[in-house]
């Protein structure tokens, strides 16, 4: 932190001056010494021998210039890096101090009580997360310091390599380096490739070499000047073998280096990301074309054994999945299309046969979709079926649909006698994540993370959501959504709360065409300002909602979202009910439709009449647990007033669902379709009380017209609720 880095630029100038002096000597030597052996006055064996020696010396003068200029360039490169990286260390410390930390000379961050107010000191003393906060700042500073050390190690490696005589046929041993370059990253790439090739060939690699490989990859993360020559030296074949080796070592017998090996794997993936990032020069494009062609040739090869195979694609994509860098959209799309094309040629290409390989999933397609989910724009562009799905890329239909045009998702084949086929426990995880990202525009939400305000959506996002629901419900099979997609799809559907509401309530006919739905999405505007949404049939929407709400978490999310959105519409109603109270009864009518639909979906999970199963209504494995207190993953941010009224009503939706299921289990006529309405009444009552209606005045002794409107709202809500429950009986196969 105190070194005068300008000494480096001074040194670089002296190395350049040295090169200039060598050039002067070279000219004089060529004229006064080397030239003698080329003249007419001296010939014979002694002249030939002298010429060879003089030529070697002349080359050394030239090589000395090359080496000196290369060292000058390396020093300048190091100076630039050190100035930048030291500034980042200072910035990291300053950021820590700004938030109230004191930082020691060793980079240890601790809360600075001396600068805190009494209230802040008290809060800090009682903050259970303070130690974690301090450690996070210490780690942040340590990472900045480590980056300086990494750069210093890379500089040292390059200096040593630049001074090694790299031409064994130049007439000298240990002379000057005629092929020295001023590129630190080039030397690091060469050294890293040497270590990687030793690993691939099974040679013993020392801990120092392994650490050097990890350091070089980490230090040059995002640097094409390193990643392209490194990967070019390895080729796709060598990259796949190196990744396999790293996974094998990490999960093998000796666990002591696992963390380092997995970090090396991560940085290998980051090197692929940087090397293939948006080719912008002829050199970039040449590398990109050569590497992707090489990958395509090696992707379908078996890099395992006959009894426990692993394709090159499976390893390569698993390595990409370990990375934390961003990949080029064109590279991901091209790779995705190559994987699908390869699978269509060999339907068992991505089937796991045997025990499998630690760290590597056989299903490269699903893994790649998971990688795409980290960049929503990439996922959207890949899965968008286009304005005319019949003429589009048909990727979405292949991945989500059923039938000839759709994927037969691979299972796990346990070899032996007899052979046993079992479900892949991770199947559809990548697809679910990609669909959430593609249809919402945000990465998949973490557990407990709340969504923002629902929508708005671009036309491409809406087409993905529309196509997903339609393809999943092909053949009315929407209630059988793969389990690993439930949370992601529930998050995505919650983001379309307004569209769901209008479809379930059958409002805004020209836009949604509910209940039948429309062929395409609705869209307002054009270009970057365009807003869009889904127009699927009410039956498909309800079946897919049913399909993703097997668990209490996803059921709670969709139920709460649609309930809160319907209440928000009621809250937005004008101060006066208007003629015929339509300004109040219309949103109450919609509330009844939505609540009837959601209660039907919930009760169908508890009671599956089609299979003759009657589950215990209050079964804790269904909806009787985890409903209150815990944060709901994916819950959109809706109006505070609506939420306040829901809370005021003491609304527990699981009671309505249980009541509806219990009635359906014992009744076989349409009378049970009104069961579970009480919660809807409670919501309307809470709203009316908030508007000043005295709902306890059972005779309306004050002749309040709003009291009449409130009673009418309840009546309309029950009618629509019953209608929605009746529709559900058809859509969900009760009758």
Q: Which residue segments constitute the domains of the chain, with CATH numbers given?
A: 6-182 (1.20.1260), 550-731 (no CATH)
Distance between CA atoms of 422 and 375, rounded to whole angstroms? Answer: 32
Strand partners, 414: 420
The mean per-residue pLDDT over the stretch 177-200 comes to 95
CA-derived radius of gyration, the chain: 35
In the three-class reduction of DSSP (H, G, I as helix; E, B as strand; rest coil), residue 360 is classed as strand
Distances (CA, A) of 136 to 131, 203, 469, 511, 611: 9, 39, 42, 50, 53
User: Is residue 641 within 8 Å of 658, Cβ to Cβ?
Assistant: no
Per-residue pLDDT reduced to its tens digit, 256-287: 889 999 999 999 999 999 999 999 999 999 99
Tokens of 112: 């600075």
The mean per-residue pLDDT over the stretch 440-447 comes to 95
State percent of the chain over pLDDT 90. Answer: 76
pLDDT at 578 over 70: yes
The mean per-residue pLDDT over the stretch 427-453 comes to 95
pLDDT at 359 over 60: yes
The mean pLDDT of the chain is: 91
Query: Given this model, what pLDDT does residue 613 score?
Result: 45
Residue given tokens 């019949």 in the structure block: 390
Query: Given this model, what pLDDT does residue 630 score?
Result: 63
Per-residue pLDDT reduced to its tens digit, 65-91: 999 999 999 999 999 999 999 999 999
Query: Given this model, what pLDDT does residue 192 score?
Result: 96
User: Is residue 151 within 8 Å of 82, Cβ to Cβ?
Assistant: yes
- Residue 153 makes CB contacts below 8 A (sequence gap 6+) with 212, 215, 219
User: Is residue 681 within 8 Å of 721, Cβ to Cβ?
Assistant: no
State percent of the chain over pLDDT 70. Answer: 95
Tokens of 383: 């899965």
Distance between CA atoms of 433 and 489, rounded to whole angstroms? Answer: 8
Q: How many CB atoms lie within 10 A of CB 175?
A: 17
Query: Given this model, what pLDDT does residue 187 score?
Result: 94
Query: Given this model, what pLDDT does residue 643 score?
Result: 87
Query: Given this model, what pLDDT does residue 169 score?
Result: 82
User: Is residue 292 within 8 Å of 331, Cβ to Cβ?
Assistant: yes
pLDDT at 5 over 80: yes
Task: Mean pLDDT check: name the lowest of 14-28, 155-169, 639-653.
Answer: 639-653
Q: How many CB atoms lie within 10 A of CB 99?
A: 11
pLDDT at 477 over 80: yes
Eight-class DSSP state of 311: B
Task: Mean pLDDT check: name the lowest of 35-39, 127-131, 708-712, 725-729.
Answer: 35-39
pLDDT at 669 over 50: no
Strand partners, 420: 414
Distance between CA atoms of 231 and 275, rounded to whole angstroms? Answer: 8
Query: Given this model, what pLDDT does residue 672 score?
Result: 58
Longest dimension (CA), the chain: 135
Query: Given this model, what pLDDT does residue 616 score?
Result: 42
Confidence of residue 615 (pLDDT cuts 50, 70, 90): very low
Where do the DSSP E strands lie in 99-204? Answer: 101-103, 109-111
User: Is residue 609 within 8 Å of 588, Cβ to Cβ?
Assistant: no
């Amino acid at each position: 932190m105190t070194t005068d880095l300008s000494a480096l630029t001074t040194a670089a100038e002296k190395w350049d001056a040295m090169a200039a002096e060598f050039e002067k000597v070279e000219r004089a030597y060529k004229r006064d010494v080397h030239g003698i052996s080329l003249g007419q006055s001296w010939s014979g064996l002694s002249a030939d021998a002298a010429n060879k020696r003089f030529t070697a010396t002349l080359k050394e003068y030239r090589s000395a210039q090359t080496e000196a200029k290369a060292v000058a360039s390396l020093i300048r490169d190091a100076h630039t890096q050190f100035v930048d990286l030291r500034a980042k260390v200072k910035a990291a410390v300053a950021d820590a101090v700004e938030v109230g930390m004191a930082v020691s000379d060793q980079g240890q961050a601790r809360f600075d009580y001396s600068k805190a107010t009494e209230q802040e000191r008290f809060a800090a003393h009682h903050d259970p997360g303070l130690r974690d906060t301090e450690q996070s700042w210490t780690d942040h500073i340590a990472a900045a310091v480590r980056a300086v050390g990494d750069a210093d190690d890379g500089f040292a490696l390059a200096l040593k390599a630049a001074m090694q005589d790299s031409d064994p046929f130049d007439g000298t041993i240990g002379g000057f380096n005629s092929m020295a370059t001023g590129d630190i990253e080039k030397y690091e790439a060469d050294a890293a490739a040497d270590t990687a090739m030793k690993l691939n060939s099974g040679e013993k690699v020392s801990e120092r070499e392994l650490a050097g490989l990890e350091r070089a990859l980490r230090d040059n993360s995002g640097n094409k000047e390193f990643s392209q020559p490194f990967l070019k030296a390895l080729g796709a074949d060598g990259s796949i073998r190196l990744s396999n080796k790293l996974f094998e070592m990490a999960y093998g017998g000796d666990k002591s280096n696992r963390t380092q090996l997995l970090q090396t794997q991560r940085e290998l993936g980051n090197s692929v990301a940087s090397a293939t990032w948006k080719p912008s020069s002829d050199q970039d494009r040449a590398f990109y074309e050569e590497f992707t062609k090489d990958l395509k040739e090696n992707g379908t090869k078996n890099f395992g054994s006959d009894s426990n195979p692993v394709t090159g694609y499976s390893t390569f994509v698993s390595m990409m999945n370990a990375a934390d860098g961003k990949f080029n959209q064109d590279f991901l799309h091209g790779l995705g299309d190559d994987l699908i094309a390869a699978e269509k040629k060999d339907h068992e290409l991505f089937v796991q046969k045997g025990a499998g390989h630690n760290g590597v999933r056989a299903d490269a397609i699903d893994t790649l979709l998971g990688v795409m989910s980290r960049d929503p724009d990439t996922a959207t562009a890949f899965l968008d079926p286009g304005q005319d799905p019949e003429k589009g890329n048909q990727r979405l239909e292949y991945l989500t649909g059923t039938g000839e045009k759709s994927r037969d998702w691979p299972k796990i084949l346990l070899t032996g006698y007899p052979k046993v086929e079992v479900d892949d426990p991770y199947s559809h995880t990548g697809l679910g994540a990609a669909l959430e990202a593609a249809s919402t525009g945000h990465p998949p939400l973490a557990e407990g993370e709340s969504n923002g305000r629902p929508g708005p959506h671009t036309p491409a996002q809406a087409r993905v959501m529309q196509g997903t629901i339609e393809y999943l419900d092909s053949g009315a099979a929407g209630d059988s959504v793969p389990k690993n997609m439930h949370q992601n799809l529930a998050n995505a559907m919650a983001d379309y709360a307004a569209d769901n509401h209008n479809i379930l309530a059958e409002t805004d006919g020209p836009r949604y065409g509910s209940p039948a739905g429309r062929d395409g999405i609705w869209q307002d505007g054009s270009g970057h300002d365009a807003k869009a949404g889904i127009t699927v049939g009410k039956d498909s929407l309800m079946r897919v909602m049913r399909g993703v709400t097997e668990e209490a978490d996803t059921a709670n999310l969709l139920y709460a979202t649609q309930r809160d959105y319907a209440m928000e519409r009621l809250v937005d109603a004008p101060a006066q009910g208007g003629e015929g109270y339509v300004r109040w009864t219309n949103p109450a009518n919609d509330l009844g439709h939505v609540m009837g639909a959601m209660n039907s979906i919930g009760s169908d999970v508890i009671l599956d009449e089609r299979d003759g199963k009657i589950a215990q209504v209050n079964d804790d494995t269904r909806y009787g647990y985890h409903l209150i207190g815990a944060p709901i993953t994916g819950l959109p941010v809706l109006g505070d007033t609506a939420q306040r009224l829901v809370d005021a009503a003491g609304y527990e939706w699981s009671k309505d669902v249980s009541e509806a299921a219990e009635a359906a289990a014992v009744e076989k006529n349409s009378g049970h379709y009104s069961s579970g309405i009480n919660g809807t009444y409670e919501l309307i009552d809470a709203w009316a009380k908030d508007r000043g209606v005295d709902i306890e005045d059972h005779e309306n002794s004050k002749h309040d017209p709003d009291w009449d409107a409130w009673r009418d709202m309840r009546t309309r809500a029950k009618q629509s609720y019953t209608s929605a429950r009746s529709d559900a009986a058809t859509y969900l196969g009760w009758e």
